[in-house]
């Protein structure tokens, strides 16, 4: 059975369980229980997410990082300056290729938020998310990674698909993101059949946004 590794922040937590449920019996889907947070955090812990499996055995890696990096707390600058963010994205690319040398790798862009529904002490702006996405995409393409543009999908979804200002933890949101992720990972896993979507969502809101 092939192995799929899902890495990322709370965007990933909006589809990981449904991807695993849909691929049950076909693919071994692996993802950490925790929110993978900042790009620097992904770099630090990537190898530890593979304690129970050899990195050489991972067939596909689908990952994201960015929403935590562009977060503005207390009306200050983004948590991670964009040049430092780009630096960490590049190091993650190198780390993935080192730890999972046989994997097909897909990077997912960060999704749209409802800035107007956030308080001034905890803020994200779509204009900045787009800039961070653009910086990351330029780098990951250099390493031959494919890009799953979840941001482009998110802008097509109505406000009622949101569960809050950041997340899409609704049935409609979960299905939309799960199906798009599946459309990218399935071909890389050698799955050509039509997959029947099977929903499984978190019963509690995942920690950390």
CATH assignment of the domain containing 43: 3.40.50.1110
In whole angstroms, what is the distance from residue 3 CA to residue 176 CA?
23
User: Tokens 């899902």 — which residue?
Assistant: 6
Residue 121 lies in a domain: yes
| Domain region containing 72 | 2-188
For 153-180, write each residue's pLDDT tens digit: 999 999 999 999 999 999 999 999 999 9
Beta-sheet pairing, 146-148 with 27-30: unpaired
Residue 28 placed within a domain: yes
What secondary structure does DSSP assign to 141-207, as a single string? HHTT-EEE-HHHHHTTS-GGG-SSSS---SHHHHHHHHHHHHHHHHHHTT--SPP-------SSPPS
- 137 in a domain, yes or no? yes
> What tens digit of pLDDT does each residue of 66-114 get?
999 999 999 999 999 999 999 999 999 999 999 999 999 999 999 999 9
- How far is the first Cα of the chain from the last one, in angstroms, to the nearest whole number? 33
Work out the number of other CB atoms within 10 angstroms of the CB of residue 99. Answer: 18
- State yes or no: pLDDT of 147 exceeds 90: yes
Residue 202 belongs to a domain: no
In the structure encoding, which two tokens stand for residue 22, read together?
Answer: 């849909």
Can you give the pLDDT at residue 202? 82
* Averaged pLDDT, 1-17: 97
Into how many domains does the chain fold?
A: 1
The CA-CA-CA angle for residues 193, 199, 205, to 5°, reads: 140
Strand partners, 107: 63, 147
On whether residue 199 sits in a domain, the answer given is no
Would you say residue 36 lies in a domain? Answer: yes
CA Rg, the chain, in Å? Answer: 16
Q: Kindly report the pTM of this predicted structure.
A: 0.96
Whether residue 37 lies inside any domain: the answer is yes
pLDDT at 184: 98
pLDDT tens, residue by residue, 15-28? 999 999 999 999 99
pLDDT at 208: 64
Residue 207: inside a domain: no
Do 173 and 161 form a contact (C-beta atoms < 8 A)? yes
């Amino acid at each position: 059975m092939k192995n799929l590794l899902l890495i990322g922040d709370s965007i990933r937590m909006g589809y990981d369980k449904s991807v695993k449920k849909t691929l049950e019996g076909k693919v071994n889907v692996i993802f950490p229980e925790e929110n993978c947070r900042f790009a620097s955090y992904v770099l630090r812990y990537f190898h530890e997410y593979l304690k129970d499996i050899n990195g050489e055995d991972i067939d596909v890696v689908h990952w994201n990082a960015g929403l935590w990096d562009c977060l503005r707390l207390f009306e200050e600058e983004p948590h991670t300056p964009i040049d430092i963010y780009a630096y960490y994205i590049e190091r993650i690319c190198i780390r993935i290729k080192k730890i999972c040398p046989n994997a097909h790798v897909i990077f997912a862009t960060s999704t749209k938020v409802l800035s107007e529904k956030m308080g001034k002490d905890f803020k994200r702006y779509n204009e900045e998310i787009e800039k961070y996405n653009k910086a990351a995409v330029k780098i990951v393409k250099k390493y031959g990674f494919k890009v799953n543009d979840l941001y482009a999908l998110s802008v097509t979804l109505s406000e009622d698909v949101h569960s809050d200002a950041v997340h899409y933890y609704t049935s409609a949101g979960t299905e939309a993101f799960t199906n798009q992720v599946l459309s990218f990972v399935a071909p890389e896993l050698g799955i050509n059949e039509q997959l029947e979507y099977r929903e499984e969502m978190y019963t509690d809101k995942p920690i950390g946004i």
